[in-house]
């Protein structure tokens, strides 16, 4: 039985030409035509560029990069300021005019099986879709598949993951148009909702890994991508920082992989110096090429994290995107800062352990398929001390790989001084047995201390004698300010007796925003270790360690939140050795 089809008349800007597809550009494929369409005659807040070809002109040539000194700058507003006739390159203007000359006039309408999507297409002329009808329903296979992909994209993004419904009871319109050489699609405002435009054939587009071929792979991810733009509009009307082009494109490109992980079209964007792998020192966000920065949170935290972050945006459309993300990880400002800093460091550790440096069981699910990261290699032996100074732009990082030499033994002691407490340090040790160990000394979770003066310090939980190399990441988790830092790395030998050090800081104060301290000890042999904390009456208030431990130096956190001010005793038992120390807590 043939499917029901309706014919609808679409308004045309000019008369409809009868000629077939024609590329009027004189400089090759245009990387992103949509921003120029936006400047040509539509409100800057009504068009969000969709999925585009990474092999065309560099993104920065058609979309101004974010001003790093003004991280909250709304790129849509800055684009609108450029909307003058002499600012649009002639070949792009001719391409736009060609598209407008070929507006859809008489289109057929096909409803997706769920009824949530209204697909508008033509069988003949400039915007004709492929005519194949293997199913014999009277509807082109291309349209039936597109409807299937749209319904599945909705199921994943709205029904399963939990993003907002972008339209309610009204079907969302998807138009199929010849929108130029290798321009995938875009989304425009349509009254109080949106309308999606998707390429009509996807012939001769960049390759992807879809088992059904490049054409259907491109169709799948473009529909998933553009549906996320519609969801964004329903969330915050593309307002504020979260509505700027770089953030919305990173988000929508991420959804391509969440909905259709087998396609991997985003591989076309993450290489070179525009991506984090090739240029970790470039500030995030960057449309398309920094998609893996967003994917880290999806893989490490789960998609519920992004639902929570966008809920923050829905409640306050003007909230900076990073602030929304921080609120999604912490219940108070102190927790937000510490936890988000740790996540940014781990994000870059995942990026640095890509390609040939992939470690089984660590990092991105598709890490082995990603590019090798740009890492400064420090030849063996590790300089003692190894010193590094630099400045990192907002939301960026630097990667170093160090190689211990023969005879170097002991643990790594890292000290970093920096402008503000949003600098974090991460280490990944590549062990000789083929495994790896992550260590983030900037995180309160492992007992190292980040004090209010901008000093981060800590001892590694591993000995350099057991590793082939260790990766060192320095990351700026601040969205507003660059950070200057000085880093010192020492290799300190393990003492031949058990040593219990004075806790740091001491005293420590909840009123000063630092209810925690660190207790450090060393031992030369594997022992059963118990580390406890008592009040002055002898009542045990915390058991911090209780089990077999390898020889080495340990930094153990103690959080006194909820305890009374006063003197506390910490007691270490390592085998037959017992040692104690005193510390002072001030509320």
User: Same domain, yes or no, for 476 and 513?
Assistant: no
- Residue 172, SS3 per DSSP: strand
How much is the pLDDT for 157? 98
How much is the pLDDT for 95? 62
pLDDT tens, residue by residue, 178-230: 987 778 998 888 888 999 999 999 999 999 999 999 999 999 999 999 999 99
In this structure, the chain runs to a length of 587
User: Same domain, yes or no, for 503 and 438?
Assistant: no
Count CB-CB contacts under 10 A for residue 30. 25
User: Same domain, yes or no, for 371 and 452?
Assistant: yes
- Give the span between the Cα atoms of 27 and 29, in whole angstroms: 7
User: Same domain, yes or no, for 557 and 472?
Assistant: no
Residue 137 within a domain: yes
How much is the pLDDT for 88? 64
User: Same domain, yes or no, for 394 and 250?
Assistant: no
Residue 297 within a domain: no
φ/ψ of 337, rounded to 5, equals -65, -50
Residue 577 within a domain: yes
Count CB-CB contacts under 10 A for residue 384. 12
- Give the span between the Cα atoms of 366 and 358, in whole angstroms: 9
For residue 519, the Cα-to-chain-centroid distance in whole angstroms is 34
Residue in the structure block whose two tokens are 């859809």: 104
Long-range contacts of 74-81 (CB under 8 A, 24+ apart): 74/240, 74/241, 74/243, 74/244, 75/244, 75/245, 75/246, 76/44, 76/45, 76/238, 76/243, 76/244, 76/245, 77/44, 79/35, 79/38, 79/39, 79/44, 79/245, 80/39, 80/43, 80/44
Residue 91 within a domain: yes
- Give how far Cα 311 sits from Cα of 22, 219, 264, 315, 538, Å: 44, 28, 27, 6, 47
pLDDT tens, residue by residue, 344-364: 999 999 999 999 999 999 999
Mean pLDDT of the chain: 83
pLDDT tens, residue by residue, 99-152: 666 667 789 999 999 999 999 999 999 999 999 999 999 999 999 999 999 999
pLDDT tens, residue by residue, 252-307: 999 999 999 999 999 999 999 999 999 999 999 998 999 999 999 999 999 999 99
pLDDT above 60 for 16: no
User: Same domain, yes or no, for 466 and 529?
Assistant: no
Residue 309 within a domain: no
pLDDT tens, residue by residue, 417-470: 888 878 999 999 999 998 999 999 754 333 344 444 477 877 788 888 889 999
Report cis status (omega within 30 of 0) of the bond before 445: no
Q: Which pair of tokens denotes residue 353?
A: 């352990």
Contacts of 538 (CB under 8 A, 6+ apart): none
Residue 574 within a domain: yes
3-state SS track over 495-534: CCCCEECCCECCCEECCCCCCEEEEEEEECCCEEEEEEEE
Domain count, the chain: 3
How much is the pLDDT for 101? 62
Domain residues for the domain of 529 are 499-586
């Amino acid at each position: 039985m043939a499917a029901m089809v309706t014919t609808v008349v679409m308004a045309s800007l000019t008369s409809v030409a009868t000629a077939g597809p024609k590329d009027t550009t004189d400089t090759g494929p245009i990387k992103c035509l949509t921003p120029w369409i936006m400047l040509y005659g539509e409100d800057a807040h009504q068009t969000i560029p969709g999925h585009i070809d990474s092999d065309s002109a560099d993104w920065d040539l058609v979309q101004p990069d974010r001003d790093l000194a003004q991280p909250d700058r709304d790129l849509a507003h800055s684009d609108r300021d450029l909307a003058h006739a002499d600012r649009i390159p002639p070949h792009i203007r001719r391409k736009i005019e060609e598209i407008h000359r070929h507006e859809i006039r008489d289109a057929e309408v096909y409803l997706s099986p769920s009824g949530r999507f209204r697909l508008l297409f033509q069988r003949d002329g400039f915007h004709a879709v492929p005519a194949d009808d293997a199913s014999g329903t009277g509807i082109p296979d291309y349209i039936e598949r597109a409807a299937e992909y749209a319904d599945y994209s909705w199921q994943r993004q709205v029904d399963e993951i939990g993003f907002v419904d972008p339209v309610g009871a009204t079907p969302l319109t998807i138009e199929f148009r010849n929108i130029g050489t290798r321009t995938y699609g875009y989304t425009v405002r349509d009254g109080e909702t949106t309308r999606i435009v998707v390429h009509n054939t996807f012939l001769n587009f960049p390759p992807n890994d879809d088992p059904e071929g490049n054409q259907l792979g491109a169709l799948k991810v473009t529909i998933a991508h553009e549906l996320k733009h519609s969801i964004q509009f329903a969330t915050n009307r593309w307002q504020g920082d979260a509505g700027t082009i770089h953030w919305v494109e990173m988000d929508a490109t991420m959804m391509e992989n969440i909905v259709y992980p087998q396609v991997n079209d985003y591989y076309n964007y993450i290489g070179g110096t525009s991506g984090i792998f090739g240029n970790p020192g470039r500030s995030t966000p960057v449309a398309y090429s920094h998609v893996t920065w967003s994917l880290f949170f999806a893989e490490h935290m789960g998609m519920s994290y992004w639902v929570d972050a966008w809920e923050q945006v829905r409640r306050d459309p003007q909230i900076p995107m990073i602030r929304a993300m921080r609120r999604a990880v912490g219940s108070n400002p102190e927790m937000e800062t510490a936890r988000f800093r740790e996540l940014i460091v781990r994000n870059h550790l995942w990026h640095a352990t890509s390609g040939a440096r992939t470690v089984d069981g660590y990092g991105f699910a598709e890490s082995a398929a990603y590019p090798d990261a740009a890492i400064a290699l420090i030849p063996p032996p590790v300089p003692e001390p190894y010193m590094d100074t630099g400045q990192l732009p907002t939301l960026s990082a630097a990667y170093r790989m160090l190689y211990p030499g023969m005879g170097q033994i002991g643990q790594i002691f890292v000290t970093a001084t920096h402008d503000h407490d949003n600098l974090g340090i991460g280490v990944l040790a590549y062990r000789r047995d083929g495994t790896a160990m992550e260590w983030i000394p900037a995180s309160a979770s492992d007992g190292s201390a980040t004090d209010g003066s901008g000093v981060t310090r800590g001892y590694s939980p591993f000995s350099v004698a057991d590793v082939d190399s260790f990766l060192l990441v320095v990351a700026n988790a601040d969205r507003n300010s660059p950070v200057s830092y000085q880093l010192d790395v020492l290799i300190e030998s393990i003492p031949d007796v058990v040593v219990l050090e004075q806790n740091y800081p001491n005293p420590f104060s909840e009123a000063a925003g630092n209810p925690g301290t660190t207790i450090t000890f060393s031992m030369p042999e594997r022992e059963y270790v118990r580390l406890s904390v008592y009040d002055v009456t002898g009542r045990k208030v915390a058991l911090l360690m209780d089990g077999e431990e390898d020889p080495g130096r340990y930094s153990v956190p103690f959080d006194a939140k909820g305890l009374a001010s006063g003197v506390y005793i910490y007691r270490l038992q390592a085998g037959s050795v017992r040692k104690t120390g005193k510390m002072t807590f001030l509320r």
